[in-house]
Amino acid sequence: MPKALLAGLTKLPVEITTVTSMVDNGGSTGQFRKDFNVLPPGDIRRHLLALSRAPQWKKDLFAFRFGHEVFDQGHRGHSFGNAFLAGLENSLRDYGKVLEIAHDFLEVHGRCLPATTDKINVYAELENGQTIEGEDEIDVPRKHNPSLKIKRIFVKPEATAYPQAVSAIKEADIIAIGPGDLYSSSLPCFLPQGITGAIKASKAKKILVCNAMTKLGETQGFTVEDFAAEAEKYAGKLDYVLYNTKLPDAKRLEAHKKEEPAQLEPVRIGKGLNAAKFIGKDLLKESGQVVYDSDKVAAAIMELAK
């Protein structure tokens, strides 16, 4: 989402607030959670960087990785930004103050907020009744069969929404959901109590940005309608579903899958979509990986907002 959406929106005259799910438990983030019982720093770090207007040296420092320890999923070392956020939280014990300092240091234009400050993990119930624990296991299946479909997700313990996130949602003109890993990143944002209620109470246009590719263990075989149905199950009724219509050629797709083997195929477009709600556009970059051009996505969102 930071690369596919925020990079484009930051060029436009809009006020941006991001909301992060706070369930990440893999890699460097997971290690900090285990060692210091802090909130996951990784995802909100990426949001802060995406909205930063700081000098490049600050951004480079925040993204710098040190150490040689190899974590789950092959991630190596800790990022300075993760250590910065975890260290502040461990010292101050006040997450609001942590956010204030981080926003100030990175000269953030906008706000980056957590969905909750309760310490939680996400769980997924599979179609065979098995329950799997943790964002990292949902994201990269190692202990369960990735061909099994996810029936539902939930968090433990129950969590309460961060008040500022609730206020931002209620006051928004546009609520953009995704793109991102559906069950391990996007939908967990709606699990803290108060988030979905705020979305339903908001007069904002609710727009789902459908993923470009399906993913092993989460959305294999999904169509655009499937993404929309799952999003509405957790977030409530959507006004628009923005999806990609331009398919990459076979050579480009093959090269992309070599770099991202968990990404399986372009999301299929079903027949008879409601044209007033489902909005198809060419959203891909012209070459390279099969990823969205953030300028195209931002322009499409602004067009719908009008």
pLDDT at 75: 62
| Cα distance between residue 44 and residue 244, in whole Å | 26
pLDDT (0 to 100) of residue 73 = 59
What torsion, rounded to 10 degrees, do the Cα atoms 251, 252, 258, 261 define? -120
- Return the pLDDT at 70: 65
Which residue in the block uniquely carries the two structure tokens 């285990």?
Answer: 34
- The beta strands (E) that lie in the chain are given as 17-20, 65-70, 76-79, 111-114, 121-126, 131-133, 150-156, 174-177, 205-209, 213-215, 240-244, 263-266, 278-281
> Mean of the per-residue pLDDT values for the chain?
95
Return per-residue pLDDT of the chain as tens, 306 residues. Answer: 889 999 999 999 999 999 999 999 988 899 999 999 999 999 999 999 999 999 999 999 999 998 777 666 556 778 999 999 999 999 999 999 999 999 999 999 999 999 999 999 999 999 999 999 999 999 999 999 999 999 999 999 999 999 999 999 999 999 999 999 999 999 999 999 999 999 999 999 999 999 999 999 999 999 999 999 999 999 999 999 999 999 999 999 999 999 999 999 999 998 889 999 999 999 999 999 999 999 999 999 999 998
In one-letter notation, the amino acid at residue 1 is M
Domains and CATH numbers, the chain: 1-19+162-306 (3.40.50.10680), 23-113 (no CATH)
Give the pairing type, strands 240-244 and 76-79: unpaired
- Nearest Cα residue to 139 out of 231, 262, 20, 42: 262
| DSSP secondary structure of 198-258 | HHHH--SEEEEE--SEEETTTTTT-BHHHHHHHHHHHH---SEEEEE-PPPPHHHHHHHHH
Answer whether 187's CB lies under 8 Å from 234's CB: yes
Q: Which amino acid is at 149?
A: K
Identify residue 96 by its one-letter amino acid code: G
In angstroms and rounded to an integer, the radius of gyration of the C-alpha atoms of the chain is: 19
pLDDT of the residue at 244: 97
- Exposed, middle or buried by CB within 10 Å (0-12, 13-18, 19+), for 23? buried
